[in-house]
Structure 1
Amino acid sequence: MPGPILQVALPSPLRRLFDYRSPAGVRAEDLCIGQRVRVPFGQRQMVGVIAGISDTTEVPAAKLKPAQELIDLQPLLPESLWQLILWTASYYQHGLGDTLGCALPTLLRQGEPAIARQDLLWQLLPGAYPEHPAVSRATKQKQAVQVLAKHPHGLSHALISQWGLTRDALEALERKGLAQRIHQSPHHTAEPLPLLSDIPLKANAEQQAALEAIAGKSGFTAWLLDGVTGSGKTEVYLQAIERCLVAGRQALVLIPEIGLTPQTMERFQKRFSIPVVILHSGLNDRERLDAWVAARDGEAGIIIGTRSAIFTPLARPGLIIVDEEHDLSFKQQEGLRYNARDLAVYRAHLEDTPIILGSATPSLESLHNVRRGRYQHLRLTERAGNAKPPGFRCIDIRSRKLEAGLCRPMIEAIGEHLKQGNQVLVFINRRGFAPTLMCHDCGWIAECTRCDARMTVHQNPPRLHCHHCDTQRPQEHECPKCLSKDLRQLGAGTERTEEHLAQRFPDFPVLRIDRESMARKEAMQGMLKRIQSGAPCLLVGTQMLAKGHHFPDVTLVAILDADGGLFSADFRGPERMSQLITQVAGRAGRADKPGQVLIQTHMAEHPLLINLTEQGYGAIADMELDARGRAGLPPFSFIALLRAEANNANVANEFLESACTLAENLSDQLGLAVDMLGPVPSPMERRAGRYRAQLLVQAKQRSTLHQLLHHWLPQLESHPLGRKVRWSIDVDPLDMF
Structure 2
Amino acid sequence: TLSPDQAVAAEALVAAVELGGNHVSVIDGVTGAGKTEVYQEAIAAALKLGKQVLVLLPEISLSAQWLDRFATRFGSTPTIWNSELTQAARRDTWRNVALGRVDVVVGARSALFLPFDNLGLIIVDEEHDASYKQDDRVAYNARDMAIVRARLADHPVVLVSATPSMETVVNMQEGRFEQLVLPERHGAAELPDIKLIDLTKDPPDKLEQPGLEALGPAWLAPPLVEALADTLAKQEQALLFLNRRGYAPLTLCQSCGHRWQCPNCTAWLVEHRLAHRLQCHHCGLAMPLPSHCPSCGAEDSIIACGPGVERVAEEVQTRFPAARIGLLTSDMLTGPLAMREFMAKVHTREIDIVIGTQIMAKGHHFPLLTLVGIVDADMGLGGGDIRAPERSFQLLQQVAGRAGRGESPGTVMVQTRLPNEPVLQALAAHDRDGFMAAVDADRRMHAMPPYGRLAALIITDTDQNRLNEAVNALANTAPRVDGVMVLGPAPAALAMIRGRHRQRFLIKAGRNAVLARLIEPWLASVKLPSQTRVQIDIDPYSFL
| TM bracket (short chain) | over 0.9
Distance in structure 2 (CA, Å) of the matches to 1:730 and 1:373: 28
Conserved? CA contact 1:274–1:301, under 8 Å: no
| Residues 1:520 and 1:734: Cα distance change in structure 2 (over 3 Å) | closer
Name the CA distance, whole Å, in 1 between partners of 2:512 and 2:93. Answer: 36
Matching residue within 460, 467, 489 for 2:274:
460
- The residue number in structure 2 matching 1:514 is 329
Post-superposition shift, 1:703? Answer: 4.2
How many Å separate the matches in 2 of 1:451 and 1:246? 52
Identical residues among aligned pairs (%): 38
Tell me how far apart the structure 1 counterparts of residues 366 and 336 of structure 2 sit (CA, whole Å).
21
Q: Does 1:325 align with 2:127?
A: yes
Specify the SS of the correspondent of 2:175. Answer: coil
Q: Is the 8 A contact 2:64 2:336 kept in 1?
A: no
Q: Quick one: which of 239, 254, 272 aligns to 1:440?
A: 254
| 1:49-70 deviations in Å (ceiling 9; x for gaps) | xxxxxxxxxxxxxxxxxxxxxx
Q: Which residue of structure 2 lines up, in the alignment, with residue 654 of structure 1?
A: 469
The superposition leaves residues 550-593 of structure 1 with CA deviations (integer Å, 9 ceiling, x where unpaired) of 11111111110011122122111101110110010111111111
Cα distance in 2 for partners of 1:206, 1:237 equals 13
In the alignment, structure 1 residue 578 sits paired with structure 2 residue 393: yes
Taking the aligned partners of 1:524 and 1:411, their CA distance within structure 2 comes to: 27
Question: Contact 1:404 / 1:496 at 8 angstroms: preserved in 2?
Answer: no
- Structure 1 Cα separation of the partners of residues 512 and 188 of structure 2: 46
Structure-2 separation of matches of 1:536 and 1:498: 13
Q: Deviations over 1:254-278 (max 9, x none)?
A: 1111101211112112211356211
Please give the alpha-carbon distance, in whole angstroms, between the structure 2 residues aligned to 1:528 and 1:238. Answer: 22
Paired letter, 2:365: H
8 A contact 1:274–1:300 mirrored in 2: no
Partner residue, 2:242: 428
Q: Map residues 204-223 of structure 1 onto 2, 5 A cutoff.
A: 204-217=3-16, 218=19, 219-223=21-25
Deviation string, structure 1 residues 316-351 (Cα, Å, up to 9, x no partner): 222110000011111112111121111110111112
Give the counterpart of 2:352 among 502, 515, 537.
537
Describe the shift of the 1:634–1:521 C-alpha distance in structure 2 as closer, same or farther (beyond 3 A): closer
- Counterpart position of 2:31: 229
The reply to whether residue 392 of structure 1 matches residue 205 of structure 2 is no
The equivalent of 1:154 in structure 2 is none
2:249 maps to amino acid: P
Which residue does the alignment assign to 1:498?
Answer: 313
Pair 1:408 & 2:222 matched: yes
Name 2:533's counterpart in structure 1: 726
Provide the secondary structure at the position in 2 that maps to 1:495: helix
- 1:396 to partner: Cα distance: 1.3
Aligned to 1:126: none
The 10-residue stretch of structure 1 (567-576 or 455-464) with the greater mean CA deviation from structure 2: 455-464
Aligned amino acid, residue 710 of structure 1: E
Greater RCO (Cα-Cα under 8 Å, separation 6 or more)? 2
Cα pair 1:673 1:704 within 8 Å, conserved: no
Question: What is the 5 A alignment of 1:109-258?
Answer: 202-217=1-16, 218=19, 219-258=21-60
State the distance in 2 between where 1:487 and 1:703 align: 53
The alignment status of 1:488 with 2:303, answered yes or no, reads yes
- CA distance 1:520–1:387, change in 2 (3 Å): closer
Q: Look up the SS of the partner of 1:522 in the other structure.
A: helix
User: Which residue is 1:592 aligned to?
Assistant: 407
- Which amino acid letter does the alignment assign opposite residue 709 of structure 1? I
Alpha-carbon distance in 1 for matches of 2:291, 2:376: 29
2:418 counterpart of 1:616: no
CA 1:493–1:275: 2 relative to 1, 3 Å: closer
| Partner secondary structure for residue 347 of structure 1 | helix
Instruction: Pick the structure with greater CA Rg.
Output: 1
1:369, distance to aligned residue in structure 2 (A): 1.4
2-side partners of 1:343 and 1:389: how far apart? 33
SS in 1 for 2:414: strand
- The correspondence for 1:476, drawn from 275, 290, 312, is 290
The one-letter code of the counterpart of 2:414 is: I
Once residues 662 and 430 of structure 1 are traced to their aligned partners in structure 2, the CA distance between those partners, rounded to angstroms, is: 41
- Of 295-304 and 320-329, the range deviating more from structure 2: 295-304
* 1:736 aligned onto 2:543: yes
In structure 2, do the counterparts of structure 1 residues 207 and 706 end up closer, same or farther at CA, with 3 Å as the change threshold? same
Assess if the C-alpha contact under 8 Å between 1:421 and 1:535 holds in 2.
no
**SS of equivalent to 1:295:** helix
TM-score, normalised via structure 2 length? 0.92
- Matches of 1:417 and 1:348, distance apart in 2: 47
Task: Spell out, residue by residue over 1:508-545, the C-alpha distance to the aligned partner (whole angstroms, 9 max, x if none).
Answer: 21111112321377222211111122455110111110
Aligned residues: 528
Query: In structure 1, how many angstroms separate the alpha carbons of the residues matched to 2:468 and 2:404?
Result: 52
Q: 1:640 aligns with which of 455, 459, 464?
A: 455
Distance 1:381 1:234 in 2: 15
Contact kept? 2:248, 2:311, Cα under 8 Å: yes
- Residue 343 in 1 paired to residue 145 in 2? yes
Q: Which runs of 5+ in 2 are unaligned?
A: 206-216
Which deviates more from structure 2 when the two are superposed, residues 465-474 or residues 637-646?
465-474
What do residues 427-455 of structure 1 show as CA deviations (whole Å, max 9, x unaligned)? 11111111122233443322223322222
1:387–1:593 CA contact under 8 A, matched in 2: yes
Q: Name the aligned partner's letter for residue 315 of structure 2.
A: H
Alpha-carbon spacing, 1:612–1:259, altered in 2? closer, same or farther (3 Å): same
State the Cα distance separating 1:685 from its structure 2 match: 1.3
Q: What's the CA shift for 1:610? A: 1.2
Task: Sort the Cα spacing of 1:555 and 1:639 in 2 relative to 1 into closer, same or farther, 3 A.
Answer: same
Q: Which AA in structure 2 matches 1:450?
A: N
RMSD: 1.9
Secondary structure, aligned partner of 1:663: coil
Corresponding residue to 1:604 among 413, 419, 422: 419
Deviations 1:31-89 (A, max 9, x none): xxxxxxxxxxxxxxxxxxxxxxxxxxxxxxxxxxxxxxxxxxxxxxxxxxxxxxxxxxx
Supply the AA of the counterpart residue of 2:532. Answer: V
CA contact under 8 A between 1:418 and 1:537: conserved in structure 2?
A: yes
Q: 1:627, CA displacement in angstroms? A: 0.3
Q: Aligned partners of 2:514 and 2:14: how far apart in 1?
A: 37
Show the counterpart of 1:288. 90
